[in-house]
């Protein structure tokens, strides 16, 4: 039986990157909400966020919710890079340490079901509600 | 008020993900679409709340606080989806919460 979890993790990382870009675009859309409604960044942000949701849905085919969903937090790591590169925010030592701890968390999640085959994946609820 | 906003935003975000996950548990396209759209509603509401919160609080504080989403994720996974939690998963969640806290302090 092949292990499909790496596919799910890869897709979640892509989803996290899209979400981080979307949130950075919202941040760039201005400080007041009315101002934001007139900026292209707000809508581009929604597009990225929406694509992030689509990619996340695809990712969930390849692993359990409790493993894959928290990996979206890798978006925080990406957001530090975006903040520095695009929004010209400064990076602190705490920022780097926090990022390393988050990456460690993602690694723990990634190995949490190793050798464990009886997860919910593939379990269908045909005929169930909705 | 900010705490209620953050709690509501994170719970909606987790509910969105929950319904995206439920897409993979059915095979009929109509069911998949229904669940995906339901997820989009919750995820979209979370996103709108996120934008509102971002206009009141700094990006560097709001973004890490959204990690509370994954506490809701674990509760939904365990109690509704019947997924098993183990030490590695809890360690992973703990690292994510600590990491995001360190990020802003």
Q: pLDDT value at position B53?
A: 86
Q: Does B45 touch chain A (CB under 8 A)?
A: no
CB contact under 8 A, A65 and B83: yes
> In this structure, is residue A127 part of a structural domain?
no
- A-chain residues near B63 (CB < 8 A): 23, 76, 79
**What tens digit of pLDDT does each residue of B65-89 get?**
888 999 999 999 999 999 999 999 9
> In this structure, is residue A126 part of a structural domain?
no
Per-residue pLDDT at A87 exceeds 80: no
CB contact under 8 A, B83 and A101: no
> In this structure, is residue A130 part of a structural domain?
no
Task: Output the CA torsion sign for B44, B104, A73, A88.
Answer: positive
Q: Are A65 and B77 in contact (CB under 8 A)?
A: yes
Find the length of chain B: 105
Domain that holds residue A101: 5-120
Nearest by CB to residue B102, choosing from A33, A101, A107, is A101
> In this structure, is residue A125 part of a structural domain?
no
Q: pLDDT value at position A91?
A: 84
Q: Which of B12, B17, B34 to mutate to test the interface with A (most CBs of A within 10 A)?
A: B17
> In this structure, is residue A36 part of a structural domain?
yes
> In this structure, is residue A80 part of a structural domain?
yes
Q: Name the H helices within A29-127.
A: 33-37, 40-59, 65-68, 74-85, 93-111
Q: How many domains does chain A have?
A: 1
> In this structure, is residue A128 part of a structural domain?
no
Q: pLDDT value at position B33?
A: 96
> Model ipTM?
0.91
**What tens digit of pLDDT does each residue of A28-47 get?**
776 555 565 678 888 898 89
Q: Which two tokens stand for residue B91?
A: 């360690």
> CA torsion B5→B11→B15→B16, rounded to 10°?
40
């Amino acid at each position: 039986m092949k292990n499909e979890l790496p596919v799910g993790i890869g897709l979640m990382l892509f989803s996290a990157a899209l979400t981080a870009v979307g949130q950075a675009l919202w941040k760039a859309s201005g400080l007041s909400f009315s101002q934001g409604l007139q900026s292209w960044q707000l809508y581009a942000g929604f597009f990225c966020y929406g694509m992030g949701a689509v990619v996340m849905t695809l990712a969930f085919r390849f692993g359990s919710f409790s493993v894959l969903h928290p990996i979206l937090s890798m978006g925080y790591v990406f957001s530090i890079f975006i903040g520095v590169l695009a929004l010209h925010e400064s990076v602190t030592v705490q920022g780097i340490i926090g990022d390393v701890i988050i990456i460690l968390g993602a690694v723990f999640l990634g190995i949490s079901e190793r050798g464990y085959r009886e997860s919910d994946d593939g379990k269908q609820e045909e005929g169930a509600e909705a | 008020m900010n705490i209620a906003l953050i709690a509501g935003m994170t719970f909606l975000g987790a509910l969105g993900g929950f319904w995206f996950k439920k897409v993979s548990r059915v095979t009929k396209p109509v069911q998949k679409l229904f669940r995906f759209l339901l997820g989009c509603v919750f995820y979209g509401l979370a996103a709108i709340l996120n934008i509102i919160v971002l206009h009141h609080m700094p990006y560097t504080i709001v973004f890490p606080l959204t990690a509370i989403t994954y506490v809701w994720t674990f509760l939904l996974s365990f109690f509704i989806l019947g997924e098993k939690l183990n030490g590695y998963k809890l360690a992973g969640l703990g690292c994510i919460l600590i990491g995001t806290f360190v990020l802003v302090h």
